[in-house]
Structure 1
Amino acid sequence: MSTAELLHQPGWVWAASAIAMALGWLVQRRSRNAGIVDAIWTAGMGGSALYYAAMGEGLADRRLALALLGSLWAARLGLHLGLRILGEAEDGRYRHLRRHWHDDQRKFFLFFQAQALLVALFSLPFLAVAANRAPWSGWDGAGIAVWLVALIGESLADRQLARFRADPAHHGRTCRQGLWRYSRHPNYFFEWVQWFAYLLLAVGSPLSWMALLGPVLMLASLYWITGIPFAEAQALRSRGEDYRDYQRRTSPFFPWFPKDSSP
């Protein structure tokens, strides 16, 4: 298969994601919970990994690894998000957007469709891995090791935060326990680390440059666009001075020692 033919595949990923996001937008209209967009995005990423693994012409063992890593990551995160969406009210970030946009469903539809485009863009590292015909090497082992570290770190951060939030005594307070002592967003940090796994798995691929998009796009998205800015704005609205103190003490993204002892 030529490079031009391979590049048709992200178009199919985009189309499928656009349909899924349109359906998600309809569900959001009825449920008044836009958090479903995160679950659909995650499912789209897992589905794209399976699709590229099935359609690719790279080494079979590497494509199997891609299918397993992409789907297992999506299943874990999707379950975490799904339980949160079903068990809690709409995330404060989306409630703020709903108020800011005066519940304009045209804007929500465009927002959902923008997420469909992002699925296609973020899936390109998977395409690079699926096209890699190079023999299995230490790069692949390193990629799987990085993926494991990222999955364990992100899962631990999510579990620590969920346990903290489940205690009514912590209402209005900021989690400073475990990994959250060293980073204000350890879950985001390990989400970013995960994309280096596909960069390593793509070493030797004719499309290896695409794998660079994973960590680059994810860092930009988390640090400057939809991740930290939205999450911290909501945290300041809900936790005020307690969160400002946390900001002064704690690294925003990369884990590091706090400036002084946590209260």
Structure 2
Amino acid sequence: MILTGLLIVWIASALVMAAAWWVCRRIGNAGYVDVVWAGLMAAAALFAGAFGDGAALPRGLVAMMGSLWGARLCLHLLHRVLHEPEDGRYRFLREHWQGNQRYFFVFFQAQAVFVAIFALPMLVAAGNPERDFTVWTALALAIWALAVGGEALADRQLARFRANPANRGEVCRDGLWGWSRHPNYFFEWLHWFAYVLLAIGAPQWWLSLAGPLLMLLFLYRFTGIPWTEQQALRSRGEAYRRYQREVSPFIPWPPRRPRN
């Protein structure tokens, strides 16, 4: 079921991302790719819960947890894209690629591959034959609640900061952002451990580790922190360099005192 499920998720995501690329090309805003990615992850969780070959409890929890997480993120990103100009990261790519839409098409299709990759932990957890509510189930729910709640709080704090015209060009240090430069990414990463705990007891539970391991790799080396911070340095310069010196890049931690 896992391989078949991954193939179905990838094909469906590739088709949706192709349509999203066409729409974004027409409206000139590639930021919707993030909205679509989050929505597809929510759909992948519902698919895993509906067609997984495990017991009803893990399947139901995968469907609930994954869809609520993905839907919240999707709506948050949609609100941002609808009310703000195109993200600076995508404007940079547009200039770097000189508006070549073939590169953007490949980029959108890469997101479809990522949907399939991150559907793997959900499919593994949905294949767990464990019927009873165990300590692992309780821990999975606790981590999921902490992660989704923390990510929502970080997003809300940043949105409130950005909505104030007086903060234009400034660096957000409100709330969680004073303890981590990317608290939303941290809680996003933490969220994937919920499926690892739900998968304990499944025949191939270890495959669920791909979620947190790959998410950490992407956030630290590819599409997350490096990309976001490069754009922040371009737009905020020395203020962001000082923020980098004083605040933890990922795990929330008390900030360093500024040097005189």
TM value normalised by structure 1: 0.96
Say if 2:174 is the partner of 1:182: no
User: Does residue 1:80 correspond to 2:76, yes or no?
Assistant: yes
Match of 2:11 in 1: 15
Same amino acid, percent of matched pairs = 56
* Of 24, 28, 32, the match for 1:32: 28
Distance 1:33 1:211 in 2: 34
Partner residue, 2:108: 112
Residue 6 of structure 1 and its aligned partner are, at CA, apart by 3.4
Aligned-pair RMSD on alpha carbons?
1.3
1:64 aligns with 2:64: no
Name stretches of at least 5 consecutive residues in structure 2 with no aligned partner.
none
Shift of 1:139: 0.2
Q: 2:40 aligns with which of 40, 44, 47?
A: 44
Once superposed, which parts of structure 1, at least 4 consecutive aligned residues long, lie more than 3 Å away? none
Q: TM-score if structure 2 supplies the norm length?
A: 0.97
Correspondence for 1:245: 242
Provide the C-alpha distance between the structure 2 equivalents of 1:135 and 1:94, rounded to a whole number of angstroms: 45
| Structure-to-structure mapping, 1:1-263, within 5 angstroms | 5-136=1-132, 137-260=134-257
Which consecutive unaligned segments of at least 5 residues does structure 1 have? none
SS at match of 1:217: helix
Q: How far, CA to CA, are the matches of 1:45 and 1:75 in structure 2? A: 8
User: How many residues are treated as equivalent by the alignment?
Assistant: 259
Q: Distance in 2 between matches of 1:108 and 1:222?
A: 20
Q: How far has the Cα of 1:77 moved from its partner? A: 0.5
Whole-angstrom CA distance in 2 between matches of 1:7 and 1:204: 19
Q: Tell me the amino acid that sits aligned with residue 252 of structure 1.
A: P
Deviations 1:22-63 (A, max 9, x none): 000001111111111111111111111111111112110221
